[in-house]
Amino acid sequence: MKNKKIIFLVIAIILFIARVLYFVYTFNFKYSEEEVVKEVMVIELKKLTEDKVTYLVRYDKNNFLLNIYGSVGKEFDENKYTSFNYADKLKINGKLTIPKLLHNPNEFNYKRYLYSNKIVGVINTYRAEKIGEKYGNILLKCIYNYRDLVKEKITSSLSNDKAGLLISMIYGDTTYLEEDIDENLNINGMSHVTAVSGANISYILLVISSLFDEKNKKESKIRLCFSIIIILLFCALASFSASVLRAGIMNIVILVFKYYNVKIKKYFALLFSALILVIYNPYIIFNISFILSYLAVLSIITFFSEINSFLDVKLKKVLKYNYVENNKFKVTVYNIINCINKILSMYISVQVFVLPVQIYYFNEFSLTSFLANIILYPVVSIVFFLGFLILFLMFIPFVSNILFNALSLMISMQIKLSALCTHFAVKVNIPKPAFVIVVFYFIFLIAYRYRKKAILYFKRKHVRKVKLLLRIFLSIYIFFVALYYINILYLENYVYYFNVEQGNMAFIRYNRKNILIDCGSTTKNLAKNVLTSFLKQKGIRKIDICFLTHFHDDHVNLLLSDDFDITVEKIVYQEPKVANENYDKIKNFAKINNIAFVNSDIDDSYKYKDINIKILAPNINEEIIDEDIENANSQVILVKVNGINMLFMGDATCKTESYLLKRNINLEKIKILQVGHHGSITSTSQEFLDSLNIENAIISSKKKVYGHPSKEVVDRLKNKGIKIYITENDGAIKFNI
């Protein structure tokens, strides 16, 4: 018997390793970058934005995201590309790309995110045409068709805002969820409402249980089979998301064991479902929904009963309230108190494990979310219950009308309450903790939870020593965490040259002063996303001064973002020598946001706590003559901090460099040179390099866009013995200062 178990275990391990190797090959080596794709099969619509529509599609037996963009120079016609359904065969001319990491701090790993959702890569196209239908999976086709009917019925019966919220709550489709409603839910810590999980399965089982008599053995068997079928169908309806699969498998295991009167620990059901999902997709361990979902359930299983008992005693003691059976009013109040206690206990128990992971990934949490959960929970519960009744009864005219009227009222109440809670919401931003801090947090929590059982393993005479040792370790841990955050918030001094592909963005922090030099990229929103993630990781809330070398998109378009929400105290620029649309937009942006907008001149200086910044060129009343006027008149900025000189050339040309040399400026030793014009041949002349003593050179570029950096410039830098960093190859470059 023992040998059979070992053989079974070995076979299982071999199969798992084979599965992992298959996924690694398929996701990392099977497809080449820029592969041309001519035909795909639609699975489902995933996202709709102003300039594109995104579908999940099947290509070469694997899943990909298909982005369909509008034609260049034409307004995007969403109606043209939102009518594709499951199994539709599309003719396209698209390029397959596999997302790559830019290696910036706190970067969202989009590649890993896709893999964790069993998506290999992205296909981009500007045109898609339906040319027929594929056979596909008949059951999935029926489910998706039914989902389309549900969506059509809901959107025709409710207003757009209510319909979008209800659809997202029922089966997690956030395509039509309005941004302000989604934002309110996130601010209130209620985003789990639109994340399909165990709560959704629970409401389905609640509806099913009302249809059967549990005491009747025959009905109990029918109920089991019916429940399993409905759970599996709902998992398909919710696009097999990680959280709903976890809940589905767990509930099926619990239902089966319960039917056969076999006692089962919830830990086993949780572990079993995790193993199934990891075998199904090994990359799912990187899925944040998977991680949070399992941690939330594990935390509830581990801590709910203890927290509930503790709060129950404290609440009754504070309120001095006891259960009186023959007093209906007191019974009602007692039940309300119990209900609030359970909601609060559930919320706290979930946060015990989830909160540190939430801070690790998102660098923030809401202090008032528990109040929002208490206020919104009753309304959300009713919406959930009525919403799932709609899934079963929406085609019964009179009944569906009553349900939709009730839903309209309750969803309206939910939206208004959520908006009200947002006004009083308090969000806290916390720098990203080190991974080891999170690991030891869990170790200490588990040790505390099972402290009584652990003590039994030690002899009585050693118990005090063990307790003392644990206290010492806990004190060291708290001290280490305090030092870690003091260092991040108050002591760290550095300069980062970010990888924004074709563009420039550098960030200097010294003595808690924050300086940004250029902030743009040819890739839309890239600079904004990179900087926002970085600032959240470091707990930085404002930029003291932002220097713009000139107004080309790849140096300024962070400030042109519609949802830019970073506080900036001052913007320093020089008025462009030729008309520039971006200049007018940023000037207006500064006025609206009360940002000091300073037009600088040659030799202007700015000082911030031992940081000396000087504008070396150009003269405000003088134009550097070149074929490329805007680039030639980029601001050249020298930053001196802690004995280190950093020179920022913007897109300055060889003519700009000649202008600097004529001025006979003594630049001394340059620790870091941000190479002009991304390493273009039009800049970084030999004469300029010969006149400087440069230690490190940073080239911020993406070769494929304009061919930067040029080989000639790279060779010149190498011949001078300068250490070269190219952001495309090296990612973000950090220097401690």
| Radius of gyration for the alpha carbons in the chain, expressed in angstroms and rounded | 30
158 or 203, greater pLDDT: 158
Angle, helix 266-280 to helix 2-28, in steps of 10 degrees: 50
Looking at the structure, do residues 414 and 445 belong to the same domain, yes or no? no
Provide the token pair at 356: 């540190």
Q: How many CA atoms lie within 13 A of 398 on its CB side?
A: 0
Looking at the structure, do residues 602 and 658 belong to the same domain, yes or no? yes
Nearest-5° Cα angle at 334, 332 to 338: 115
Looking at the structure, do residues 123 and 151 belong to the same domain, yes or no? no
Domain assignment present for residue 233? The answer is: yes
CATH of the domain at 128: 2.40.50.140
pLDDT in tens, 370-422: 888 888 888 988 898 888 888 878 888 888 899 999 999 999 999 999 999 88
Write down which residue in 429, 451, 474 finishes a domain. Answer: 429
Looking at the structure, do residues 460 and 518 belong to the same domain, yes or no? no
Report the C-alpha gap between 674 and 672 in whole angstroms. 7
For residue 62, the SS3 value is strand
Report the C-alpha gap between 659 and 637 in whole angstroms. 14
Looking at the structure, do residues 516 and 477 belong to the same domain, yes or no? no
For residue 735, the SS3 value is strand
Domain assignment present for residue 90? The answer is: yes
Phi-psi region of 603 (alpha: psi -120 to 50; beta: other; left: phi over 0): left
pLDDT more than 90, % of the chain: 47
- Number of structural domains, the chain? 4
Q: Give the per-residue SS3 of 543-577.
A: ECEEECCCCCHHHHHHHHCCCCCCEECEEEECCCC
Write down which residue in 473, 491, 509 finishes a domain. Answer: 491
Looking at the structure, do residues 536 and 499 belong to the same domain, yes or no? yes
Is pLDDT above 70 for 321?
no
Query: Taking Cα atoms as reference points, which of 295, 259, 251 lies closest to residue 276?
Result: 251
> What's residue 214's pLDDT?
64
> What's residue 513's pLDDT?
95
Is pLDDT above 80 for 597?
yes
Report the C-alpha gap between 637 and 603 in whole angstroms. 10
| Type and span of the H or E element at 404 | helix 397-423
Tokens 């070995």 belong to: 10
Is pLDDT above 60 for 1?
no
> What's residue 195's pLDDT?
75
Domain assignment present for residue 118? The answer is: yes
Write down which residue in 429, 445, 462 finishes a domain. Answer: 429
Looking at the structure, do residues 500 and 479 belong to the same domain, yes or no? no
Domain assignment present for residue 323? The answer is: no
Is pLDDT above 90 for 267?
no
- By CB atoms closer than 10 A (0-12, 13-18, 19+), residue 322 is exposed
Report the C-alpha gap between 531 and 498 in whole angstroms. 8
Looking at the structure, do residues 265 and 413 belong to the same domain, yes or no? yes
Secondary structure (DSSP) of 587-638: HHHHHHTT-EEEE--TT-EEEETTEEEEEEE--TT-----SSHHHHT--EEE
Looking at the structure, do residues 418 and 485 belong to the same domain, yes or no? no
> What's residue 458's pLDDT?
64
Residue partners of 341: CB distance under 8 A and separation at least 6: 308, 311, 312, 315
Phi/psi of residue 315, each to 5°? -65, -45
Looking at the structure, do residues 502 and 413 belong to the same domain, yes or no? no
* Average pLDDT of the segment spanning 214-218: 67
- The amino acid at residue 105 is P
pLDDT more than 70, % of the chain: 93
Is pLDDT above 90 for 269?
no
Residue 482: pLDDT band (50, 70, 90) is very high
pLDDT in tens, 671-709: 999 999 999 999 999 999 999 999 999 999 999 899 999
Contact 231, 143 (CB under 8 A): no
Contact 547, 592 (CB under 8 A): no
Looking at the structure, do residues 405 and 554 belong to the same domain, yes or no? no
CATH of the domain at 638: 3.60.15.10
Contact 367, 426 (CB under 8 A): yes
Residue 251: pLDDT band (50, 70, 90) is confident
* Average pLDDT of the segment spanning 313-333: 61
Domain assignment present for residue 328? The answer is: no
Domain assignment present for residue 350? The answer is: no
Is pLDDT above 70 for 440?
yes
Provide the token pair at 217: 């053995």
Of the given ranges (142-146, 548-552, 671-675), which has the lowest mean pLDDT? 142-146
Residue 438: pLDDT band (50, 70, 90) is very high
Beta strands 570-573; 513-521: pairing state: unpaired
Residue 346: pLDDT band (50, 70, 90) is confident
Looking at the structure, do residues 559 and 689 belong to the same domain, yes or no? yes
Beta strands 605-608; 611-617: pairing state: antiparallel
Is pLDDT above 80 for 667?
no
312 or 511, greater pLDDT: 511
For residue 542, the SS3 value is strand
Residue 509: pLDDT band (50, 70, 90) is very high
> What's residue 320's pLDDT?
57
Enumerate the β-bridge partners of residue 696: 672, 723
Domain assignment present for residue 351? The answer is: no
Question: Structural domain of residue 263, as residue ranges?
Answer: 144-278+364-429
pTM of the entire structure?
A: 0.87
DSSP H helices in 158-265: 160-171, 179-187, 198-209, 217-237, 242-259
Domain assignment present for residue 7? The answer is: no
